[in-house]
Amino acid sequence: MSRENFSITPIIVKFIKQVAIFFPMKAFVTGGSGFIAFPLVKRLLDDGHSVRVLDLKEPPIRYPKLEFLNKSIMDDISEDIRGSDVVFHFAAILGVDNSDKHPLDTMRINLEGSVNVFKSAIEAEVKNMVYSSSSEVYGEPRELPIKEDSVKGPVSTYGVSKLASEIYAKAFNQEKGADIKIVRFFNVYGPGQENNWVVPIFINKAMKNEPITVFGNGNQTRCFTFVEDISDGVMKVFEKGKTGEAYNIGNNHPTTILELAQIVKEVTKSRSEIIKLGFGKDTRLKEREIEYRIPDISKMKEIGWQPKTMVRDGVKKILESMRKN
Ligand SMILES: NC(=O)c1ccc[n+]([C@@H]2O[C@H](COP(=O)([O-])OP(=O)(O)OC[C@H]3O[C@@H](n4cnc5c(N)ncnc54)[C@H](O)[C@@H]3O)[C@@H](O)[C@H]2O)c1
């Protein structure tokens, strides 16, 4: 084998997996049947750990070391958490528009539910936790790229519920000696995402050759982050992150919504027309649209993570997964 072809990485990965098999962890994952957490659950299982998923819906696939608890994060769950090595807290009610329609339910599940998870874990003497927050805590950014300590100004009930839970997490760290790390995801997409998010909406329209519509003139940017990059980032923060610190996990290469529509159209070889809807009462109010959102990911780079999958490849991977299923 030539020196150029030889890579040490697979050997290290294999070694880490073997170590995990000798020192398996027990992970407790709330919302573990969901779009983002399930790939993390699979990854933990692949690495030889056992996982207890707490969710209101069944995981899409069952595995031998995967235990499912059909319970809510609002329930009495301390005894369910006892004996775990780490809690990954992902369960939430999602979506900016949805949360504005149901503000009290959003605050109850996302804030009260999160406080219940943190308290129950501490009661069960499990101090290691990772809390999944969102780029929505920043609202319309005051500076770009957005650093973890940039000004926060959520413009939706969802964003408020996420920021309030972060503040509780920090208080539990300070007052109860917990070790809750915060991960803020930026526009996640990937296989299995429900059809009310922009990437699957565009893919479905393109596959039917139906018009793809964009709000405004489509020049608003997002940093679409592939779901497997998110799992890698969460594991990095769990292993190497500092207590109480927040980490932006996002793709730092922005894509405009118009570019996304064009990429989807090209990759699916679609004849769809791309239509700019403008802003307004019947589409989306301009003041509710975040124009630019780009994460500063220096903190993640310091602990050895950066995104691997760019949008065109991510869309291709979604299509591959749709063909297989
Ligand atoms: N999707 C994104 O772009 C994005 C961006 C930033 C942050 N996040 C955060 O990531 C986490 C996971 O999001 P997702 O996109 O996988 O959403 P998802 O809806 O696919 O997953 C959430 C899971 O939580 C479960 N759940 C909801 N209420 C519950 C309750 N009361 N008790 C127990 N389980 C409950 C749901 O059944 C679901 O399986 C959430 O905390 C979300 O706020 C997501």
Distances (CA, A) of 308 to 224, 231, 319: 12, 12, 18
The Cα 26–Cα 83 span in angstroms is: 8
CA-nearest residue, atom 38 of ligand 1: 34
pTM assigned to the model = 0.92
Domain ranges of the chain: 1-185, 187-226+250-295+302-325
**Does 75 sit in the ligand 1 pocket, CB within 6 Å?**
no
In three-state secondary structure terms, 184 is strand
Rounded mean pLDDT, 284-312:
89
CA of 34 to the centre of ligand 1 (A): 6
Spatial contact of 259 and 235, defined as CB atoms under 8 Å apart: no
Please give the residue that has the higher pLDDT: either 55 or 8.
Answer: 55
**Does 34 sit in the ligand 1 pocket, CB within 6 Å?**
yes
pLDDT at 42 > cutoff 50: yes
Spatial contact of 259 and 198, defined as CB atoms under 8 Å apart: no
Render pLDDT for 92-106 as a digit per residue (tens, 0 to 9): 999 777 888 999 999
Rounded mean pLDDT, 111-121:
98
Report the half-sphere exposure of 13 (CA within 13 A, side-chain side).
7
Please give the residue that has the higher pLDDT: either 207 or 282.
Answer: 207
First-to-last alpha carbon distance for the chain, in angstroms, is 37
Q: Say what the pLDDT of residue 216 is.
A: 84
Q: Which of 35, 165, 226 to mutate to test the pocket of ligand 1 (most atoms within 8 A of CB)?
A: 35
Report the atom number in ligand 1 closest to the C-alpha of 185.
6
Q: Which of 61, 94, 156, 222 to mutate to test the pocket of ligand 1 (most atoms within 8 A of CB)?
A: 94
CA of 93 to the centre of ligand 1 (A): 6
72 class by beta-carbon count within 10 Å (0-12 exposed, 13-18 middle, 19+ buried): middle
The Cα 145–Cα 244 span in angstroms is: 22
The pair phi, psi for residue 258, each rounded to 5°, is -65, -45
Q: Supply the mean pLDDT for the chain.
A: 92
57 class by beta-carbon count within 10 Å (0-12 exposed, 13-18 middle, 19+ buried): exposed
Q: Strand locations in 18-171, DSSP E?
A: 26-30, 50-55, 66-70, 86-89, 128-134
**Where does the pLDDT of residue 22 fall: very low under 50, low under 70, confident under 90, or very high at 90 and above?**
low
The Cα 223–Cα 124 span in angstroms is: 37
Q: Which amino acid is present at 112?
A: E
CA of 95 to the centre of ligand 1 (A): 9
Distances (CA, A) of 1 to 7, 10, 11, 30: 10, 15, 15, 45
Fold of 1-185: Rossmann fold (3.40.50)
pLDDT at 14 > cutoff 70: no
Say yes or no: do domains 1-185 and 187-226+250-295+302-325 share a fold.
no
The Cα 129–Cα 121 span in angstroms is: 8
Catalytic-residue membership of 131? no
**Does 227 sit in the ligand 1 pocket, CB within 6 Å?**
no
**Does 183 sit in the ligand 1 pocket, CB within 6 Å?**
no
The CATH H-level superfamily of 187-226+250-295+302-325 is UDP-galactose 4-epimerase, domain 1 (3.90.25.10)
